[in-house]
Amino acid sequence: MYFQHVYDKTLAQASYFIGCQKAGVALVIDPKRDVDTYLEIAKQNNMKITHIAETHIHADFLSGSRELAALTGAKMYLSDEGGEGWLYEFAHEGLKDGSVFTVGNLKLEVLHTPGHTPESISFLLTDTPASDKPVMLFTGDFVFVGDIGRPDLLEEAAGFVGTKEVGAKQMFKSIERFREMADYIQVWPGHGAGSACGKALGAVPSTTVGYEKARNWALQHENDEKGFVKYLLEDQPEPPRYFAMMKKLNKVDRPLLTEVPKLKKLSGKDLKAAMSKGIKVIDTRPKQEFAAGFIPNTINIQGNNSFATWMGWFLTYEEPFILIAEESKHDDLVRKLMRIGLDNIYGYIPDVKEWVAQGETLEKANVISLDEFKNILKTNHTQVVDLRGAYEYKSGHIKGTDHVFIGTLEKNLNRIKKDQQVVIHCQAGDRASIGYSLLAKHGFKNIKNYSGGINEWVNNGNPVVTEN
């Protein structure tokens, strides 16, 4: 058996390439959308991708199953569990609990493991030439390292009211089934630390059934469904806004994108014309460079590992947008955007010089130090706004601060005061830079950015409070 774990650290998403070397055929589980990765693995190992499988209808990334099927001719093996409303709406090989399919000498048994979503399935793999016992379990968003999939996404992100309690109870039953499995079975989940699909995911890529029985909180609630449901539903992180669209696009038929597109370079004149039409411009430079000089009305979303997540919060799928990004970064940035289906890129400029060359000026962000922040706190006419998530804020914040989560800032501009000085901060400055750019775009002139954030505040011995 050939096995390769493919991990996208930007979305903390895992996919799997599993091949039968004797037959020269392979299966890909939960592929990302830039599928050239799997084609290259197949080429290097002289294998043909013949099977593609998904553990469920994903909410956090746009699956590449159909792109990969179009390029390879492989069949898609997808869940037919969950009932009406939870079925894929395009041609596929339907799977039910107990279904079995083979990839050369590899046998995969399907387990219906609902909870995260009603149609979720897991794949139990047996390498038949080596043993008649299963060796690997691919759990998708069912069981993670140290955590389990959240059942509230359908309600919180996609608007399916009343589903989270039902999902939590389904998850309890699925966990009971997991508990009965042999301790030696390897567990390969769909996500790692940093994913919004759970609240306490481990950073290592895999685990075993036995290890999770010993240390995963979800397996410590035997015969306590009520306590299990309560803990599972509380303090989950805010689901990104784009999750609802992912649920739709992964379920219905949609246009395919089988290669990484090239971006159109815009002139300074093109940029001005586009901005006059209201097209958003995303400055992907590091926050320090943005602060030192930025084009008015642009939004700073840095091209780091969180780039796609924040783009999904602040852009819709209908609107075109422009990137400020040097050419060496394009492949990386476009792949990140492909993975959540943000394909409507109008063009790019390499840097802000294009703007200055048109006779325009740059603005500078008002970034303050810890000492300046402390002095400001002594005054009576300053609003301090913490832009972190609700659970982060609840766990420890600076006394007297207001809370507005960055992802919902534009919907809560009325909570930001215009008649006095405002200082914004987050954990370490990235979200505060987004927030500063958004507030500047919306006409706020009284904003200061304490970029050091809670990390610097706490590391210098300053207190936080935990009351709401």
CATH of the domain at 298: 3.40.250.10
Q: How far apart are CA 249 and CA 208, in angstroms?
A: 32
What is the DSSP code string of 316-341?
-SSS-EEEE--GGGHHHHHHHHHTTT
Distances (CA, A) of 400 to 218, 235, 393, 431: 36, 22, 12, 20
One domain, residues 78 and 178: yes
CATH of the domain at 100: 3.60.15.10
The secondary structure of residue 465, as a DSSP letter, is B
Domain for residue 75, yes or no? yes
Are the beta carbons of 284 and 303 closer than 8 angstroms?
A: yes
Query: Which residue in the block uniquely carries the two structure tokens 């979800």?
Result: 218
CB burial of residue 433 (10 Å; 0-12, 13-18, 19+) = buried
**Geometric angle at alpha carbon 394, from 392 and 397, rounded to 5°:** 80
Predicted confidence at residue 468, as pLDDT, reads: 54
Q: What type of residue sits at position 139?
A: T
Burial pattern 402-430, b for ≥16 Cβ within 10 A else e, equals bbbbbbebeeeeeebeeeeebbbbbbebb
Are the beta carbons of 186 and 210 closer than 8 angstroms?
A: no
One domain, residues 65 and 178: yes
Half-sphere exposure of 187 (CA within 13 A, CB side): 29
Predicted confidence at residue 399, as pLDDT, reads: 95
367-368, strands of its sheet edge to edge: 367-368, 447-450, 421-425, 382-386, 402-403
Domain for residue 380, yes or no? yes
Are the beta carbons of 303 and 281 closer than 8 angstroms?
A: no
Distances (CA, A) of 37 to 32, 40, 60, 61, 442: 9, 5, 19, 16, 41
Half-sphere exposure of 46 (CA within 13 A, CB side): 4
Predicted confidence at residue 158, as pLDDT, reads: 67
Neighbours of 329 (CB within 10 A): 16
Half-sphere exposure of 430 (CA within 13 A, CB side): 14
Domain-ending residue, one of 192, 215, 249: 249
Predicted confidence at residue 336, as pLDDT, reads: 98
321 pairs with which residues across the strands?
Answer: 280, 345
pTM above 0.85, yes or no: yes
One domain, residues 374 and 324: no
Q: How far apart are CA 195 and CA 191, in angstroms?
A: 6
One domain, residues 130 and 7: yes
One domain, residues 350 and 372: no
Domain for residue 13, yes or no? yes
One domain, residues 112 and 220: yes
One domain, residues 429 and 352: no
Domain for residue 144, yes or no? yes
Domain for residue 362, yes or no? no
One domain, residues 343 and 378: no
Domain for residue 306, yes or no? yes
Angle, helix 163-179 to helix 225-233, in steps of 10 degrees:
120
> What total number of domains does the chain contain?
3
Bin 253: left if φ > 0, else alpha if -120 < ψ < 50, else beta. beta
One domain, residues 350 and 376: no
What is the DSSP code string of 189-215?
ESB-TT-TT-SS--SSS-EEHHHHHHH
One domain, residues 157 and 11: yes
Domain span including residue 25: 2-249
The secondary structure of residue 434, as a DSSP letter, is H
Domain for residue 464, yes or no? no
N residues, the chain: 468
One domain, residues 54 and 141: yes
Domain-ending residue, one of 303, 323, 356: 356
Domain-ending residue, one of 333, 356, 379: 356
- Quick one: which of 178, 162, 71 has its CA closest to 120? 178
What are the pLDDT tens digits along the chain (468 aa)?
999 999 999 999 999 999 999 999 999 999 999 999 999 999 999 999 999 999 999 999 999 999 999 999 999 999 999 998 899 999 999 999 999 999 999 999 999 999 999 999 999 999 999 999 999 999 999 999 999 999 987 777 666 777 889 999 999 999 999 999 999 999 999 999 877 777 778 789 999 999 999 999 999 988 899 999 999 999 888 888 999 999 999 999 999 999 999 999 999 999 999 999 999 999 999 999 999 999 999 999 999 999 999 999 999 999 999 999 999 999 999 999 999 999 999 999 999 998 999 999 999 999 999 999 999 999 878 999 999 999 999 999 999 999 999 999 999 999 999 989 999 999 999 999 999 999 999 999 999 999 999 999 999 999 999 975
- Quick one: which of 101, 151, 91, 160 has its CA closest to 126? 101
Are the beta carbons of 406 and 393 closer than 8 angstroms?
A: no
Domain for residue 260, yes or no? no
One domain, residues 201 and 112: yes
